Structure 1
């Protein structure tokens, strides 16, 4: 009998983003990477196991003996509990006979078992204080250390400690000669106070895994034991190929950014040795990074374009393109980071909903964003419905935004290329910025009111077309405004130029 072991760091986003200090976010991200890669490998090696794959905080292992499983779980989890306060680690094991059991079924059962264990959370209720402690402002837990005169918990102390190791983590994603920022103020530049939190998640990964299983199902041509060995090898390769593609897309994006020296030094006024971007989660198809607010949308666009140019090998005869959905939350540098991350996640999910609404079987890369000027009230869907999906005085519904925007879909007017075209048109026009901002408010009253304003100010030639598309006062025949997004973004958007 052999054993599959599955571990997961649960609620990793909460662990990383509960603090509003970039240094602590970085430390938390490094801790998760350290636990899932270095620490787990230490005990796997010690107890004679093998790592099958690691992705998104989950790690799948294989052991030959039950005693090895018990020793691994005991020693690994003990060190995590003692050393890393705030981490939620779940581990399960599943026995199997490689000569009798098909390994894909065993792995599926292990994932179900893990989900059941997470849903129980038997030990979540515990006493954390006797009321005699100072409180850590980041975690609201009892303080056990003093840092810069401020009381901090053991969790924050560990995060700060690990943040000092940041140069050795994610350094492979950085162009040579550059360094990462350690504070939010290093990201925002000299003139604007906005940062962008970018969340990117792979599209239809469940379908891709299902296809992988179908193409590697047991056919009886070889022994089941041989098939299981081959399947585990192919599964590890499949997982690694996904991780490699996303890391390569990130590296290609940072390389493009580093080559635009005029952008970095003249427009953003960023330290020439520092790249205004900081990866926080790079785990398979799950990417989160923070960057300067004016280039958040463009960095996401470049990442998606680089990713969409790659293909994932499912089998010897099957290669499929990789697409993803990106959400960009543009917020002030001191806005609660956990809220910004949640918004970026909602924006990414909104993009996936758009694809499913427009197409049942096709897949594309898609991008959505939102600017937060004050406090955010309600979910993204509520905000879009209240402020962007409106009705004019006659009760006719219209939409102020065409977002989310497709990156590689030429058949939809909801495209990033149309957004860039509309932005270019208003930038090259001689219409005063104050007049454009006035029009932005008029757009909110609907197509009829917009028509009056545009005709009075003789703006028909600008707003009655977009590329080859004929518009009516900035709106499509379906009453979607194709210029509102550009006017809304014109003061917070810098184009990143890519060398040909």
Structure 2
């Protein structure tokens, strides 16, 4: 009997934005962007990816033993590569159609999502903690100002400090040096946390995409991500025209996958940038009607905050708008 498996990360954006330091956000973003590659390496030839986006994926397994082996090891692998990122996972047998199995998997995920998450191993009273996060410390920062670092902060800072390729910048056809890397680069005044996503994507996946064969599901997944990418590129190109020559592009993309796009930029550019993205997203999805089964509209929230404001709270506000 075949099985359908799905995992979802709980709070990709809060994971990335759980710091006031832009370089750590960059590192977290790079870690999240590498998830699909890690998934493919972990799967090998054990399963077939149906759909994948930022922080979630649906996989079909033909053998229950391979499914259970993967489900046992995948959370442990992620806890090493992305410490602090919570995930939920569920699976169900494909008794009839994949569509029915997916509905069952999503229901199980929703139930699992409400369970409290335990951070293991639990730190005892004698364990030193990071002053910035309150979590158990694993290393002292290279600079005195960094203090003690917890595992998640260390992983994010290490990726950013190692000069790893800026995967999102590469996706968006912009060089790493062309983007801001510190909050000071945004200049004085407020900054905007912008979050956009497509309308009705989940409903179409259940009603149409889940009934397609594996190739059709993968075409939908890649076409949706490409439409989002092209819309983001168009909005960034328009912002570049209004940026003074010789200065870094006042922008830091954080999440780009599926129909999700999250970015930080100066508040003065936020409305025009977002309007341009939403318009281009609709245009790009209409151009990919064959793969998507029709076009999509998108909505977005903009939170204007001071650079010292907790960015995870700013994202929560933008996402709720």
The TM-score, its normalising length taken from structure 1, stands at 0.58
For 1:180, the equivalent position in structure 2 comes to 179
How many angstroms does 1:58 deviate by? 1.4
Matched, 1:160 2:157: yes
How many angstroms does 1:41 deviate by? 0.8
Distance 1:186 1:22 in 2: 10
Q: Is the 8 A contact 1:52 1:236 kept in 2?
A: yes
Query: Structure 1 residues 65 and 336 mapped into 2: Cα distance closer, same or farther (>3 Å)?
Result: same
Alignment of 1:451-462 (within 5 A): none
Alignment of 1:267-282 (within 5 A): 272=246, 274-282=248-256
Query: Structure 1 residues 304 and 120 mapped into 2: Cα distance closer, same or farther (>3 Å)?
Result: same
Distance 1:16 1:79 in 2: 19
For 1:209, the equivalent position in structure 2 comes to 205
How many angstroms does 1:127 deviate by? 6.5
For 1:434, the equivalent position in structure 2 comes to none
Unpaired stretches in structure 1, ≥5 consecutive residues: 218-229, 266-271, 348-500
How many angstroms does 1:180 deviate by? 2.1
Larger RCO (CA under 8 A, 6+ residues apart): 2
Distance 1:327 1:182 in 2: 23
Q: Give the length in aligned residue pairs.
A: 315
For 1:411, the equivalent position in structure 2 comes to none
Distance 1:143 1:133 in 2: 8
Q: Is the 8 A contact 2:137 2:150 kept in 1?
A: yes
For 2:236, the equivalent position in structure 1 comes to 254
Distance 2:314 2:199 in 1: 21
For 1:140, the equivalent position in structure 2 comes to 134
1:422-443 Cα shifts (integer Å, max 9, x gaps): xxxxxxxxxxxxxxxxxxxxxx
Alignment of 1:65-464 (within 5 A): 65-97=63-95, 101-121=96-116, 124=118, 128-147=122-141, 148-149=143-144, 150-164=147-161, 165=163, 167-170=165-168, 171-175=170-174, 179-187=178-186, 189=187, 192-212=188-208, 230-260=212-242, 263-265=243-245, 272=246, 274-312=248-286, 313=288, 320-347=294-321
Q: Is the 8 A contact 2:6 2:59 kept in 1?
A: yes
> What secondary structure does 1:158 align onto?
helix
Q: Is the 8 A contact 1:18 1:138 kept in 2?
A: no
Query: Structure 1 residues 234 and 177 mapped into 2: Cα distance closer, same or farther (>3 Å)?
Result: same
Distance 1:177 1:24 in 2: 15
Q: Is the 8 A contact 1:9 1:32 kept in 2?
A: no
For 2:18, the equivalent position in structure 1 comes to 18
Q: Is the 8 A contact 2:230 2:284 kept in 1?
A: no
Q: Is the 8 A contact 1:308 1:322 kept in 2?
A: yes
Aligned with 2:59 (options 58, 61, 66): 61
Q: Is the 8 A contact 2:14 2:315 kept in 1?
A: no
How many angstroms does 1:126 deviate by? 5.8
Q: Is the 8 A contact 2:196 2:261 kept in 1?
A: yes
> What secondary structure does 2:233 align onto?
helix
For 1:40, the equivalent position in structure 2 comes to 39
Rg bigger for which structure?
1
